[in-house]
Amino acid sequence: MLFVGDDWAEDHHDVEVMDGSGRRLVKVRLAEGVAGMARLHAVIGQALGDDAEDGEGAGRVKIGIETDRGPWVRALLAAGYEVFAVNPLQASRYRDRLGVSGAKSDAADAHLLADMVRTQSHQLRPVAADSV
């Protein structure tokens, strides 16, 4: 399994991919739009390695993002990834659990979103393909 945190802004996405043990595999900033999505698919495919080629790779990817709608989320669902909408307040509370500084950054939020889907996906709301 791969776990992806996607902290989106108006013009970019900070993304972190981690494995089941919580080890960071990839950390990248992607442009909003088709080029960014293509790069995300490439990053995930590379992280999956041989698993990406068996046709079931996308089913081994869980993505946490702080929205449940929009073209980016629709593209994630269309690719077959399991997408979890994380309420920004949930993310803030999780950030508080991990550290006391209260500092927020897009890259750090991508990390915590990936970790949330790795450890807490059973408590998060999956986005249904027909709801976006």
- Render pLDDT for 25-57 as a digit per residue (tens, 0 to 9): 999 999 999 999 999 999 999 999 876 666 678
Q: What is the CA angle 111-91-123, rounded to 5?
A: 100
Q: What is the pTM of this model?
A: 0.87
Q: What is the DSSP string of 60-109?
A: GEEEEES-S-SHHHHHHHHTT-EEEE--HHHHHHHHHHH-SS----HHHH
State how far the Cα of 53 lies from the Cα of 51, in Å rounded to an integer.
Answer: 5
CA distances from 18 to 24, 34, 71, 74 (A): 4, 23, 24, 22
Q: What CATH number does the domain located at 2-131 have?
A: 3.30.420.40
Q: Please give the backbone phi and psi of residue 11, each rounded to the nearest 5 degrees, phi first.
A: -120, 0
Domain locations in the chain as residue ranges: 2-131
Lowest mean pLDDT among 10-24, 47-61, 69-83, 92-106: 92-106
Q: Please give the backbone phi and psi of residue 13, each rounded to the nearest 5 degrees, phi first.
A: -130, 130
Query: Residue 118, SS3?
Result: helix
Output the average pLDDT for the chain.
87
With a cut of 60, say whether residue 132 has pLDDT above it: no
pLDDT digits (tens, 9 = 90+) for 97-128: 766 555 566 678 899 999 999 998 998 989 98
Residues counted in the chain: 132
Q: 28: part of which helix (H) or strand (E)? A: strand 24-31
pLDDT of residue 94: 73
